[in-house]
Amino acid sequence: CAELVWDLKAQAKECAPRSVSRWTLQFRTALPKLLAGLAAYYTISSSGESFSRLSKAGSSRKQLSTTCAVDTNLVLQRPHLIQILTLLRLFGYDGQGHSLDRQLVQIRTGEGKSLVLGIGSLLFALLGFRVRCVCYSEFLSRRDHKLFVDMFEAFQVGEFVTYSNISKFKADKVNEKGDIRQLTVDLLKGNLTAAPRDLPARTKGRGLVEDILLVDEVDMFFGLDY
């Protein structure tokens, strides 16, 4: 796994667009291979002992004949077709322009939104972006993050991926320019000498970075509560 992680990080660094306005053909060409590598790592890490047993059995021709009788789809956890197609679309694989367009994707219940958001967050982080993945439910957000936190740490991008509910995201955006309560007090007292300015996002070791927002249950995001 360590070798796979190193190889995928090197590939991502080589083709990383670093900006949604510079979505290059080089990256689009490399995208299927990157997703295949991340999917392979997900299968290895999430299937655990099942994967190890199949790998050991496959090294023996005699045991292999027995293993082949087992439906690996029932043993190994791996992304399915809808999830891979969604990720390809999310990352603009079929796009023609030089920028990444905003996407609205419908995935039916049970078709694996958690995996799409987890691997999508991981890949965006590997490409040099800062990722915010939000959901209306704090419980669901924590659950989904827990499913992929080990992968984020394995690829050393944990600090660049944040899961939260929509309310927490909203509060963080409001306070980006400073403590809104203190700014209000300063304004009322006449101590606010200048309007807070939009500051470019800086992340340790990456310089200026762009933010990517992934929204789960987007219909709730556009509801009356928000």
174-198 confidence digits (pLDDT tens): 777 777 777 788 778 777 766 655 5
Q: List Cα–Cα distances, 80 to 57, 120, 128, 178, 207, in angstroms.
A: 24, 14, 26, 43, 36
The candidate with the shortest Cα–Cα distance to 8, out of 148, 128, 155, 115, is: 155
The pLDDT value recorded for residue 92 is 93
pLDDT in tens, 123-153: 999 999 999 999 999 999 999 999 999 999 9
3-class secondary-structure state, position 148: helix
> Over 70: is that where the pLDDT of 68 sits?
no
> Over 60: is that where the pLDDT of 167 sits?
yes
Measure the CA–CA gap between 8 and 61, rounded to whole angstroms: 31
Q: pTM here? A: 0.81
Measure the CA–CA gap between 166 and 221, rounded to whole angstroms: 7
The pLDDT value recorded for residue 67 is 47
